[in-house]
Amino acid sequence: MDPFTVRFAVSALLFYAAGALGAGFSADPCSLVDSANPPCFRARTTPTLKAILVHYGDHVGDYDFAAVRKLYIERFNREMSGIVNLEIIDTAALPLKKIARDLAATAAHVGGSDASQKTEARLERLWYYYFSDAGKMIDEIHELLLESGYRRALEEADTVLVISEPQFEALGFASGAYGMATRPSAGR
């Protein structure tokens, strides 16, 4: 067999195997389903950025979340002057993931004797600042979106915009397809 035929046969076999094995994964390499940091962005015929707006934490009201959604769209589209438009295709209010957190250690970092500064809700949010990092929080949110039924939205979205009650060492940042901003006054 000539080398071209061998390469073609091997390529076809690998392509078939990848399709058969990857049936549970997205066929689109730019999809957010398989990764919070896809290797590419989708080409668009219209300048529209499709986003999922997420509130991550336990203290959000429907009215406030709807107002923030409207504000994000209005301000983004106004500032971009039609060069790129924001379309929020879905919203999600995700409670903090239930994981073991050493809140006593977090309270020690906070210091002082004011009990109002050491409520459980505040210590849970600050735990991320002292004992985690924003990258781990993105993975956590991504996993929760998939577990909570947002697979279809992740297939369509270009980005995920997160309003985060947990605090981290910045007011906001972007990593991969995720953009995050803290909401430090949440839950006081």
By three-state DSSP, how is residue 10 classified?
helix
pLDDT at 188 over 70: no
**Banded pLDDT at 19 (limits 50, 70, 90):** very low
**Banded pLDDT at 24 (limits 50, 70, 90):** very low
All domains of the chain in start order, with CATH: 28-182 (3.40.390)
pLDDT at 15 over 50: no
Q: What is the pLDDT of residue 26?
A: 54
pLDDT at 111 over 70: yes
Query: pLDDT, tens digit, for every residue of 90-104?
Result: 999 998 887 777 878
> CA separation (Å) from 50 to 59, 87, 131, 149, 177?
25, 5, 32, 18, 11
CA angle 154, 160, 162 (to 5 degrees): 135
pTM for this model (two decimals): 0.74
> CA separation (Å) from 93 to 45, 53, 61, 78, 163?
31, 9, 9, 26, 10
The letter for the amino acid at 167 is Q
> CA separation (Å) from 47 to 72, 83, 139, 176?
17, 7, 28, 20
